[in-house]
């Protein structure tokens, strides 16, 4: 496609502003590692909440949602909507615990919670595994989406796309650290949401679509509209709804929705001013991520069913695209190719904003692991803050190069999503319970991670049987859970002094720390409080609130006014009860 002068000007302006933010942040972020990796631990809730949602609004996310809607309908999104339960558990239970820990990274937690050489090994291994291998796979998947979008809308080659986006992102990330990442996230998310809403409005008004009401009257669309899968068809509702809600949300480690918190979500919580800001930021993130953001993508995906009913039409329209890239996720950028001058530049910049916000977060997050949990911990414990920041900048560049190379090896967003789920299957329950059961130790995590990873590799590379993706997931969860529970019971617990220090600092509630409380002495022989039950109640009220908002918006768009009223009542009731709980604190 040919870009107009206006389109090019918008793109250049967007890139310039992103670089200027990085330059501005670099004035204060390069002094010490806490500024570079945690932005001085003084970030407000509203900025952190938007930063979290900007990171999860990646360029590959609308592609993934489009692929899901085209294959499984709107209800197929339960594959990721179910992670709301994980998110709300983090909001009301784990956000305050992470903020109390005071660690620089969530991997530093390991030597706070566990003891001995096993804890040291686990910290270092997880830093390399997550900071390099897992992190690079995620960034490569994001860059793949950028390659497809730019290939459709700009006709650029994969290498040109990766060089342009990668260079600009790595420059402001390396200059300004987390402060630059958070402020560019705010700018880029605002830009991205405006672009997506305007693109959706234009797509709905296209002659081929004929407006929202006409779109929703199409038979091919009506088959895909429902919020829930067909309950008369077990092959539909079990993998799309039952497994995500019953098993997946608590059992699978997935970036941005980690059971018990973790990753870049933990990094944002650790950079908050205090516990209250950490909790509020995470709540805002979950509301925006699940309830407010998906509908422009869903409507564009539904419209693509009318304009491009099958893949052959997409291939015909874009004959220069690599054949391996012609999949359902390509329908999203294909729909955007109809946008007029001006709006096209705005939307391309919006998608680049989404891509860059995710990449920049993963670069800073990954470099924080490799500097704090590898370089400082094992290689140069006496390194100055300036030396650590310098190493962090070098690592940022290296991670970007690895991700760029990996992006040229992937094909589809959905395939990568399934691989990531499989790699973390079975570890989630351990991450939830390690805060509340004293008996879990470093060997528990080592065994869970190793076994889950080995099974994922086997299923992706060596398995030739007939198990479905859902069956593989369930089997991995079941076997991994058995392995880590048995290992926990057969190995020695963490030493008493470490457990007592952890309990004293974190103050976890619930009965799982009974022996540790007794070790603290009779004068302190009382649990930290009985807030766990109330926190879990708030979690489910938060879940009800967000799902009610998500489906109320959808019902209004569909003109299902009775359903809209019922969802609104559920949402308002949830707000009322949440306020009652908070007023009692």
DSSP per-residue letters across 492-551: PPPPHHHHHHHHHHH---SGGGHHHHHHH-GGG-S-S-S-HHHHHHHHHHHHHHHHHHHH
CA 369 vs CA 25, 43, 232, 395, 448: distances in Å:
21, 20, 47, 10, 20
| Non-local CB neighbours of 307 within 8 Å, separated by 6+ positions | 206, 208, 209, 313, 334, 335
Is 27 in the same domain as 125? Answer: yes
> Do residues 193 and 90 share a domain?
yes
Domain boundary among 494, 510, 533: 494
Flag the least confident range among 92-96, 215-219, 441-445. Answer: 92-96
Taking only the tens place, the pLDDT of each residue in 535-563 is 899 999 999 999 999 999 999 999 999 99
State the pLDDT confidence band at 27, using cuts at 50, 70 and 90.
Answer: low
What is the model's pLDDT at position 57? Answer: 74
Answer yes or no: do 451 and 475 share one domain.
yes
Percent helix, percent strand, percent coil in the chain, to nearest 5 = 80, 0, 20
| Cβ 89 vs Cβ 258: under 8 Å | no
Residue 521 counted as domain residue: no
Asked if pLDDT for residue 226 goes beyond 90, the answer is yes
* Residue 577: inside a domain: no
Question: pTM value?
Answer: 0.85
Q: Are residues 45 and 110 in the same domain?
A: yes
Query: Tens digit of pLDDT for each residue in 269-297?
Result: 888 888 888 888 999 999 999 998 899 99
Split into its structural domains, the chain has a count of 2
Nearest CA to 584 out of 529, 505, 545, 544 is that of: 529
In a shared domain, residues 376 and 451: no
When mean pLDDT is compared across 106-115, 147-156, 278-287, 344-353, the lowest value belongs to: 147-156
Q: What is the pLDDT of residue 525?
A: 43
Pair (329, 384) in one structural domain: yes
Average pLDDT over residues 436-445: 94
Angle at 525 between CA 523 and CA 528, to 5 degrees: 115
Task: Report yes or no on 536 lying in a domain.
Answer: no
Q: Indicate whether 433 and 288 sit together in one domain.
A: no
Residues 439, 391 within the same domain: no
Residue 537 lies in a domain: no
Instruction: Tell me the pLDDT band of 414, cut-offs 50, 70 and 90.
Output: low
Q: Which of 322-331, 375-384, 500-509 has the lowest mean pLDDT?
A: 322-331
DSSP 339: P
Strand partners, 252: 425
Segments forming the whole domain that contains residue 217 = 5-411
Residue with tokens 């909507």: 81
- CA separation for the pair 47, 56 (Å, rounded): 15
Q: Could you tell me if 59 and 104 lie in one domain?
A: yes
């Amino acid at each position: 496609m040919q870009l107009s002068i206006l389109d090019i000007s918008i793109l250049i302006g967007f890139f310039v502003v992103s670089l200027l933010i990085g330059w501005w942040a670099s004035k204060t972020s390069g002094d010490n590692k806490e500024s570079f990796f945690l932005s001085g631990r003084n970030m407000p809730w509203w900025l952190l909440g938007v930063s979290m949602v900007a990171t999860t609004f990646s360029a590959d996310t609308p592609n993934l949602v489009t692929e899901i809607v085209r294959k499984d309908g709107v209800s197929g999104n339960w594959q990721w909507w179910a992670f709301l339960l994980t998110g709300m558990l983090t909001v009301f239970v784990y956000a305050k615990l992470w903020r109390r820990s005071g660690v620089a990274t969530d991997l530093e937690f390991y030597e706070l919670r566990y003891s001995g050489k096993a804890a040291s090994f686990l910290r270092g291994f997880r830093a390399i595994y997550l900071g390099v291998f897992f992190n690079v796979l995620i960034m490569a998947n994001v860059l793949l989406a950028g390659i497809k979008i730019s290939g459709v809308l700009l006709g650029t080659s994969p290498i040109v796309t990766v060089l342009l986006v990668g260079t600009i992102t790595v420059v402001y990330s390396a200059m300004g650290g987390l402060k630059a990442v958070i402020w560019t996230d705010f700018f880029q998310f605002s830009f991205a949401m405006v672009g997506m809403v305007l693109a959706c409005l234009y797509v709905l008004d296209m002659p081929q679509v004929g407006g929202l009401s006409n779109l929703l009257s199409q038979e091919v669309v009506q088959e895909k509209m429902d919020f829930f899968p067909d309950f008369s068809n077990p092959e539909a509702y079990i993998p799309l709804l039952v497994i995500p809600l019953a098993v997946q949300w608590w059992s699978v480690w997935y970036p941005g929705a980690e059971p018990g918190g973790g990753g870049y979500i933990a990094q944002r919580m650790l950079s908050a001013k205090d516990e209250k800001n950490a909790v509020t930021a995470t709540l805002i993130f979950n509301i925006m991520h699940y309830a407010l953001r998906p509908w422009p993508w869903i409507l564009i995906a539904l419209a693509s069913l009318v304009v491009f009913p099958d893949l052959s039409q997409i291939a015909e329209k874009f004959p220069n695209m690599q054949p391996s890239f012609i999949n359902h996720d390509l329908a999203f950028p294909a729909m955007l190719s109809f946008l007029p001058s001006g709006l096209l530049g705005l939307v391309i910049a919006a998608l680049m904003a989404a891509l860059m916000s995710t990449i920049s977060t993963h670069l800073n997050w990954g470099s924080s692991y490799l500097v704090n949990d590898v370089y400082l911990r094992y290689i140069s414990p006496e390194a100055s803050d300036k030396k650590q920041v310098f190493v962090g900048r070098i690592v940022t560049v290296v991670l970007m190069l690895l991700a760029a190379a990996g992006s040229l090896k992937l094909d589809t967003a959905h395939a990568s999503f399934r691989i990531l789920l499989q790699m973390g299957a079975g570890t989630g329950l351990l991450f939830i319970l390690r805060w509340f059961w004293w008996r879990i130790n470093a060997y528990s995590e080592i065994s869970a991670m190793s076994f889950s990873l080995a099974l994922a590799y086997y299923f992706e590379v060596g398995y030739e049987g007939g198990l479905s993706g859902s069956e593989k997931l369930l089997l991995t969860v079941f076997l991994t859970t058995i392995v880590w529970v048995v290992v926990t019971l057969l190995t020695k617990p963490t030493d008493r002094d470490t457990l007592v220090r952890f309990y004293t600092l974190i103050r976890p509630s619930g009965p799982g720390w009974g022996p540790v409380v007794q070790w603290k002495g009779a004068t302190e022989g009382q649990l930290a409080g009985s807030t766990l039950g109330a926190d879990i109640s708030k979690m489910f009220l938060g879940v009800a609130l967000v799902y009610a908002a998500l489906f109320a918006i959808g019902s209004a768009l569909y003109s299902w006014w009775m359903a809209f009223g019922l969802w609104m009542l559920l949402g308002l009731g949830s707000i009322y009860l949440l306020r009652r709980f908070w007023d009692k604190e």
